[in-house]
Amino acid sequence: MSARKEILDKVRKAVEGAPEVEIPRDYRTTIPHDDLVAHFAERVDDYRAIVHVLPSAEVPALVAKVTEGRRMIVPEGVTLAVAQVVPEDELLTADGVLTGCAVAIAETGTIVLDAGPDQGRRALTLVPDYHLCVVRADQIVSGVPEAVARLDPSRPLTWISGPSATSDIELNRVEGVHGPRTLEVIVST
């Protein structure tokens, strides 16, 4: 008998015959915001990310401008053009990656990726030092419970709140240890 089975058998035996208890689940699931886009942009900026908010018609020109001179990986589901696209097998030498996202959270300034066609596999957003993410305004929700409700838990999820950073060593902030040092977000309205 495994230790797991032994422990679970003991728990089952201990609660055998106990009455059912209803657990209240009335915690807050929505967070009201007057302007989700502005709140999201403010929170993303708090994380030292670069954030732009502009009409969708202006997004292609800005993407071209900020990726100029950079060798970018672009997952096949991204419809925006960049000048220098490199194949995924050049991941270690690429300057950056351009992705979309699955959902974005205004309250925390978090972007969630689910490896969809416009995001590619997880390594694409962890290895290059620059991540450019385009977020549509309709992908922004107010809080985490709304985001979780939109996500498929069977997909690999990557939650990004600002550029990669750690303060593990003597509380000194070091950026770029576990992912991109620079996160640039374009919110398309």
Strands (E) located in 37-113: 50-54, 71-73, 84-85, 96-99, 103-105, 110-113
With a CB cutoff of 8 Å and minimum separation 6, the contacts of 80 are 59, 60, 63, 74, 98, 134
pLDDT band at 119 (very low <50, low <70, confident <90, very high): very high
The model's pTM is 0.84
CA-based radius of gyration for the chain: 21
What does the pLDDT look like over 150-170, one tens digit per residue? 999 999 999 999 888 888 888
pLDDT of residue 71: 97
Question: Comparing C-alpha atoms, which of 37, 87, 96, 91 is closest to residue 66?
Answer: 96
Who has greater pLDDT, 186 or 48?
186
